[in-house]
Amino acid sequence: MADVTQNPAAKGGWSTGTKVLVGIIALVVVISVLAILTLTISVLDTKAGTEFPYTTTYHVTLPDGQPVTIGNSHILVTSFNNELIADVDGTKDNLTVGQERVLSPRHAQITIAGVPLLDTDFQITLTYRGSSGDNANFDMTVRTSKQIPEYVINRLIPPSMNAQPA
């Protein structure tokens, strides 16, 4: 009769294959977490003449009188009746319901742990839809030169805008 005390599997220990599999899974989890935590998006000005064939649209709200930053564009809106004063990077416009404000094109570079992963040019168009309470409602169209994951676009949009895909 065989002595079960010499067989590690009989003691409830893991086999070498199981240990390797668990190690690989743990490594993948650690790398994934580090990738998510080190994902950065750098936004710069872009060249004129870029085409933007990819489009994503959101319904967003901008808090009245509170600055919001999308990429590196600074936006401040102040509403009065059915008009809105939109200050985008120091340029003020009066908007009425249905009017658009096109932001200057920008270039975004996405990196993980400092390694460039993806870059694209993008342009944002805001269409004023009116005010509700202390918020100005907009349809926001994000057009990009390359197709990029929606997760990356969502990182550009601050949570205070309450973006909902349209």
Of 44 and 20, the one with more pLDDT: 20
**Confidence bin at 107 (pLDDT 50/70/90):** confident
Answer yes or no: is pLDDT of 141 > 90: yes
Lowest mean pLDDT among 15-19, 27-31, 118-122: 118-122
* Position with higher pLDDT, 152 vs 89: 89
Q: Is the pLDDT of residue 146 over 60?
A: yes
Token pair recorded at residue 75: 């936006």
Judge whether residue 76 has pLDDT over 90.
yes
CA distances from 5 to 14, 16, 63 (A): 15, 18, 69
Average pLDDT over the chain, rounded to whole?
Answer: 84
Dig out the tokens for 111 from the structure.
């990196």
Pull the structure tokens for residue 113: 């742990």
pTM beyond 0.85: the answer is: no
Q: Would you list the domain boundaries of the chain? A: 4-37, 41-165
State residue 48's pLDDT score.
Answer: 67
- For residues 106 and 92, the answer to whether their CB atoms sit within 8 Å is no
Express each pLDDT in 33-68 by its tens digit: 877 777 777 776 776 678 899 999 999 999 999 999
String of DSSP letters for 55-106: EEEEEEEEETT--EEETTEEEEEEEETTEEEEEETTEEEEEETT-EEEPPPE
Spatial contact of 108 and 119, defined as CB atoms under 8 Å apart: yes
Residue 47, pLDDT score: 67
